Structure formats: structure tokens, C-alpha cells
Chain A
Amino acid sequence: MSSTIILLLISPLVGFLINGVFGKLIGKASSVIACVAILISLVCSVLLFSEISSSKANGAISYSDGSLYEWISAGDLSVEIGIRVDSLTLVMLLVITGVGFLIHVYSIGYMHGDPGYARYFSYLNLFVFSMLILVLANNYVMMFIGWEGVGLCSYLLIGFWYEKKSATDAGKKAFIVNRIGDFGFLLGMFTLFAAFGSFGFEKIFHDAEMGNYVKIFGENTLKIATLLLFVGAIGKSAQIPLYVWLPDAMEGPTPVSALIHAATMVTAGVYMIARSSVLFTLAETGVYVAWIGVLTALLAATMAITANDIKRVLAYSTVSQLGYMMVGVGVGAYVSGIFHLVTHAFFKGLMFLAAGSVMHAMSNELDMRKMGGLKSKLPVTYWTFLAGALAIAGVPGLSGFWSKDEILHSAWDSGHHAVFFLGLVTAALTAFYMFRLIFVTFHGQSRVDPHVESHLHESPPVMWVPLVALAVPSLFIGLVLGWGGHDSAFHHFLGDVFYATGHQEQPSSSLPFMLISTIVAFFGIISAYILYSKDSPKDEPENFTMELLTNKYYIDEIYDAVVVKPIKGISQYGLWRIVDVVIIDFLCVGGVSLLTRGIGGSLRYIQTGIVQSYILSMVIGIVLFLGYYLFVR
């Protein structure tokens, strides 16, 4: 186990501890500590990358899998704290530390003057640490620790401004909805342990391939295990039906939305499925993953069309793109799924940061109907946002084009034609809502409140430099990594990590797919231009569809009626009024005290305090005893 990995992992933890414990003392310097901690991790990741890719070029072992120490040992159960580094881990490490570092730097400007400055940076470092644990784990238990750790940090950071009720509510919602998913993950883990007798990736994947495991549910063992794991991914990666927490999570600070709710944490589910590629391929559960993914993508994209809050549009867009990644890993194109994860991390992180820059300029205004014409006032923000939007819309040559196209192509090749068409519709919608956002926010006449307009300003360099630094890879990383489709650098780098079914058909020519994607993307952009580039967007037509979309299909309301209300009812009338108040409080707790008080109350009359009455009772007792022994017996 090389010390680079240990340093990489420990550095954010040290940053968290310093900021968490001494935050009040260090004050402003906490941001420097946090950024340096992540920078160290970033440098270590790059070093590891060069190390592994050079050994790969030499044909040597291209991954390391080692245990640090045994954490739990009881009977057959043995849980190690172990680290696995392979190409997939490296890709994740570079994304987490790279995007994470830029977002840390951006936060220096964004969080400037916030009373919780040090607390913010300590949470952010803890998040990066948990995320690193998640991707470095060599077994499911350690992965689960990271999985829960990022969930905790997500909760803490969504509710960062805890004076706001909506923020704490959103935090709780995110945590509770994620718990449902985590429950599935846990059950999946237990199933795997029951079947394989181990939590380690190495052993599980090997034995699964050999078919060497206890079939506790017969032939369906792997199917059940992977579907349960997928429930975990549904929660974490915000898929139908558990996506509801992600749009609300936008209550947190914007850099948090960029880091946790766009670039890294929400992709943990996709990473987990890709990591378990052997299991998902063998169990043939990918088709469920793909369908959930594409439906989520479509549903979220339609909701993004009518949202008027910049961050919410981006949030629905994130849900939608996560759906794409699920399609990728679902149809067995694990490399493409991870590829989209990487490109998405860059352009969506970028767009969130740009949205944060808009908010910063607009005194925290989020409603894009109150914006317009910001292009000239915020040039850097505009151009970087545009770069992100072009990338996500799938304009040829830019990142989103390559990764999205690969996923759609794989969906077609693997025979999921319906998934392909739904994905195509989503692609058009994606381009449409993104450019709606651009036209309404940055073009046309200004609808900004004159009071706000007076101090409209571009963000400080500490904020716009990370924007530019993210914009460049957002545009070009797809080209660099994805050129050549199934023969690209990315495929070569990642290919051997995933399980190949063996009978991979020769992929069809990608040119027609690229053409279709291009047409679809431009269709979306042009229709957005026609509808929204004119001044002051006209009122949305009032009809049933619009009503349905604006209210997000009433899904929050349905969940409230079906899940929240009944649980509240049971809790209030069943558990609280009856079990707690009547049984526990009155009968159990109150009953014991009433009994003792009653007995004591009647016995206290004996205790007169007059010694002679005590003596009298003694004498009577003695006389009775003596009388009994002398005369009766």
C-alpha cells in the first residue's frame, strides 16, 4: 500500500479536524487549510494516475487491492479496512479531487463573510474524505461507510443555513429519503454476505463469475442482491421514485449543490453499479436499471422545462443526466456511463457555479423571470454558463455530445430500442430547457429589480477563475477522452475493469447516431430560441399539461398523501396518543408510581413518631407470639 494513497485519503480528514476543532480560532484561514488539504489529495491522485497508467502501459498489474487492517472479526464475519485502486477508482479520484478543488476555491469567494465560514469548510472537507472512502473501498462495508458519510455531509450542508426552516426541512427530506435507499443497500449487502461469505469485492466478483456461491434464493440470488443494491443507487442517485430530495436540496449553498448534488455524491450510485458490473451483468438486472434510468431522465427533463428557479432547473437537469448514466450502466455500457459521469461532473459543476455567480450578483435572487439581459453585466458568467449549456445540450464536438451519444448508441446496440428513443426525446428536451434558461436569464430585456440592478457586478476573480478552469474541460474533455467511440482513450483506460460478457457484438457505425444526436440537439436549441429569445417571456399557456408540469406531476403531494400523512396519522393517533400517552406514560410509568404512592399512603398512618406506640406494637407482637407458642402449639 503506497503512502501516496494514505496521504490522499488522510489529507481531507486532517483538514476537517483542524477546521472543525479550531475553526473559531483560525477564522478566515480555514478556507486556505481546506483548499490545501484538497490540493494535496489532487496532487496525490495525479501521481497515482501516472503510476498506474505507466504500469498499465508496461502490461504490469494495473490495480492494487490491499487491506490496511481488520476492522471487525466475529465468527465467519470479517470486515477489513482495505483499499482498492484501479482505473475506475482513479477516474473517480481525479473527478472528486479535481472538481472538488475548484469548488473549494470558488467557495472562498462565495461564502465570504458567512458566519459559518470555518464550519462550512470543515463539512466540505469531511465530504471529500467520505467520498474518497467510498471510491477507495475494497469491500462493500467500507463503501457503505463512505456512502453514509457523504449522506451525512449532504444533510449537514443542505441544512447549512439552519436558521431557515426550508433549509432544515430539505436537509431532513434528503436524509430520510436516502435512508430508504440505504436500507436497500444494506439488505443487498447482507444478501451478498449470505451468498458469498465475504464483503470483499475481489472474492465476491471472482466467485460470482465462477458461480461458486450459496444460492440462498435459488437461481434468483444474484438478481435479488443486485436489485437491492440498485435500490440504494436509486436513493443516492435520485432516480424514480426517490428523486424528490434532490430538487429540494438546492436550499444549501450553491457550491455545495455543485460539488455534492451534481458532480460527486449523486453519482455514487452509478459508481456502485459500475463497480459491481460483474454482478449486474451476470444477474441480468441491467434492463431494470436502464428503464428506471430512462424514465427518470425523461420525467426530470419535462419538469425542468417549467421550473423558473435557476437552481431547480439545474437540479432537474442533474436528475435527468443521472438517468442517462443509469441507462449507460444498465445496458452494459459501463465505460460510457462512467464517461458521462465525468463529463457531467465538469459541465454541471460549472453551471451550478455559474448559477451561484448569478445569485451572488443578483443578491440571492433565483427566479429567472426577474432576470434577463445579464449577458453584458456578467460576461464571464455568461460565457462559462454558455459553455456548460452547449456541452450538456450535445452540440457536436463538445463533452456532452460524446458521452451522451455513446450511451444512446450502446442502448441501441444492446437492443433496447425503446430506451434509445426515450433517451433521444430527453436529449431534445435537455437542449430545450438549457437554452430556455440561457435566453431567459442572460438575453432579452432586463427585468431586474432596479434596486438590485444598481449593484449588479461580476464576481471576484476567486470565483470566476474556477469557472473558466471548469469551462475548458467541459468543452474539450469529451473530445480528448471520447474520440473514436469504442476505441477511445477512455475505453482503453477503463475497459479491463468491467466485466465483459464475452460475446460483444461488433458495434455498429457511430456516424448515423452522431447525426441524429446533432439534429436533436439543434432542434431543442432552436425551439428554445423561437419561444424564449424574445423579450419578456409571455405567460405560459394555461392548460392541463402545463399545470401538471408546473406542479411537478403532483408527486410531492402524492407522496405527502400516501406516505407522510399516514405515517403522521399512525404516529399521532396510534403511537403517541395510545401507545405513548396511555400505555407507556399512564399504565407503565404512572402505574408504578401510583402503586407505590398508594401503598405508602396507607402505610404512613402507622408511622406516628410516638415511640411508645412502636413499643406497644412490639409488646403486642411478643405477647401474640408467646401466646401462640405456649398455648396453641
Chain B
Amino acid sequence: MLLQYYMVLSALLFTIGVIGVLVRRNAIIIFMCIEIMLNAANLLFVAFSRELGDSSGQVIVFFVMTVAAAEVAIGLAIIVSVFKNHATVNVDEIKSMKG
């Protein structure tokens, strides 16, 4: 019965991440919310790996963490350079994507 708890927790974390991305204006917070979503997925992988006794789920988690680390490095760099250019990390004020 332990698996259901993990699944619910994972779903909650994921939803928090999605809502955070949608409603927050601070780029760093949005970034953290993306991390939350990734880790929600990781949690689910680990839970299933343990439940099914298959270690490949845990291997995938390592991959995800590696990718997340790389993503953090690039993402934070982008945020730093955006801050240097616009003096803000508020995504509402950064509208140069609008055609």
C-alpha cells in the first residue's frame, strides 16, 4: 500500500510545480518549480523501482539528475545574463519574445 502514498506525493509535487510555473513571475522561482516537477518524476521512478525490484528505474533517476544539473547550470546562466540586460528577472517585463 506504500506505493499509493508515493504516487499521491509525486502527483502533488508535480502539480505544485506546474502551478508554480504558471502563476509565479519570478524567473528563479519558475526555475525551482521546474526542478520540483523533475524531482516529482524522480520520486515516482524510485518508488516503482523499489516496488517492482527492477534497478533500471534508479539508473534513469541518475540520468535525470545529471540532466537537471546541466539544465541548472545553463538556466541560471541565462537568468544572470537576462538580469544584466534587463535589471529584472520578472518574466512579465521580459517581452522581447513578442513578435
Question: A interface vs B, CB < 8 Å?
Answer: 604, 607-612, 615-616, 619
CA distance A604 to B99 in the complex (A): 9
Are A611 and B99 touching (Cβ within 8 A)? no
Chain B minimum-CB-distance residue to A623: B18
Are B97 and A611 touching (Cβ within 8 A)? yes
Are B91 and A619 touching (Cβ within 8 A)? no
CA distance A615 to B30 in the complex (A): 12
- Is B84 interfacial (CB 8 A cutoff)? no
Residues 22-44 of B at the A interface (beta carbon under 8 Å): 22-23, 30
Are B22 and A610 touching (Cβ within 8 A)? no
Complex interface bits, B78-99 against A, C-beta within 8 A gives 1, otherwise 0: 0000000000000110011111
CA distance A616 to B18 in the complex (A): 9
Chain A minimum-CB-distance residue to B94: A611
In the assembled complex, how far is the CB of residue A334 from the closest CB belonging to chain B, in whole angstroms? 79
Out of A610, A615, A616, A619, name the residue touching B95 (CB < 8 Å): A610
Chain A minimum-CB-distance residue to B91: A611
Chain A minimum-CB-distance residue to B96: A609
In the assembled complex, how far is the CB of residue B89 from the closest CB belonging to chain A, in whole angstroms? 13
**Chain B residues, Cβ within 8 Å of A607:** 98-99
Describe A's contact surface by its main secondary structure.
helix
Question: B interface vs A, CB < 8 Å?
Answer: 18, 21-23, 30, 91-92, 95-99
Out of B18, B30, B96, name the residue touching A619 (CB < 8 Å): B18
A609 and B98 contact, Cβ closer than 8 Å, known pairs A616-B22, A619-B22: yes
**Chain B residues, Cβ within 8 Å of A604:** 99
Known: A611-B97, A615-B21. 7 other contacts (CB 8 A): A609-B97, A609-B99, A610-B91, A612-B22, A612-B23, A612-B30, A619-B22
CA distance A246 to B91 in the complex (A): 80
**Chain A residues, Cβ within 8 Å of B96:** 609
CA distance A604 to B96 in the complex (A): 15
Out of B22, B23, B95, name the residue touching A609 (CB < 8 Å): B95
Chain B minimum-CB-distance residue to A607: B99
Jot down 14 A-B pairs with beta carbons below 8 A, ordered by A.
A604-B99, A608-B98, A609-B95, A609-B96, A609-B97, A610-B91, A611-B91, A611-B97, A612-B21, A612-B22, A612-B23, A612-B91, A616-B22, A619-B22
CA distance A126 to B95 in the complex (A): 67
Chain A minimum-CB-distance residue to B24: A612
Most buried by B among A610, A615, A619: A610
**Chain A residues, Cβ within 8 Å of B21:** 612, 615
In the assembled complex, how far is the CB of residue B30 from the closest CB belonging to chain A, in whole angstroms? 8
**Chain A residues, Cβ within 8 Å of B97:** 609, 611
In the assembled complex, how far is the CB of residue B32 from the closest CB belonging to chain A, in whole angstroms? 15
Most buried by B among A607, A609, A615: A609
**Chain B residues, Cβ within 8 Å of A616:** 22
**Chain B residues, Cβ within 8 Å of A612:** 21-23, 30, 91
In the assembled complex, how far is the CB of residue B17 from the closest CB belonging to chain A, in whole angstroms? 11
CA distance A101 to B99 in the complex (A): 72
CA distance A608 to B98 in the complex (A): 6
CA distance A612 to B33 in the complex (A): 13
In the assembled complex, how far is the CB of residue B65 from the closest CB belonging to chain A, in whole angstroms? 23
In the assembled complex, how far is the CB of residue A163 from the closest CB belonging to chain B, in whole angstroms? 53
In the assembled complex, how far is the CB of residue A283 from the closest CB belonging to chain B, in whole angstroms? 74
| Closest 3 A/B residue pairs (Cβ) | A609-B98, A609-B95, A609-B97
Chain B minimum-CB-distance residue to A613: B22
CA distance A604 to B23 in the complex (A): 23
In the assembled complex, how far is the CB of residue B2 from the closest CB belonging to chain A, in whole angstroms? 24
CA distance A616 to B99 in the complex (A): 19
Chain B minimum-CB-distance residue to A619: B18
Chain B minimum-CB-distance residue to A604: B99
CA distance A607 to B92 in the complex (A): 14
**Chain A residues, Cβ within 8 Å of B92:** 610
CA distance A372 to B47 in the complex (A): 124
Chain A minimum-CB-distance residue to B23: A612
CA distance A334 to B73 in the complex (A): 100
In the assembled complex, how far is the CB of residue B93 from the closest CB belonging to chain A, in whole angstroms? 10
In the assembled complex, how far is the CB of residue B55 from the closest CB belonging to chain A, in whole angstroms? 28
CA distance A607 to B95 in the complex (A): 11
**Chain B residues, Cβ within 8 Å of A608:** 98
Chain B minimum-CB-distance residue to A610: B92
CA distance A610 to B98 in the complex (A): 8
CA distance A610 to B95 in the complex (A): 7
**Chain B residues, Cβ within 8 Å of A609:** 95-99
In the assembled complex, how far is the CB of residue A613 from the closest CB belonging to chain B, in whole angstroms? 9
In the assembled complex, how far is the CB of residue A222 from the closest CB belonging to chain B, in whole angstroms? 72
**Chain A residues, Cβ within 8 Å of B95:** 609-610
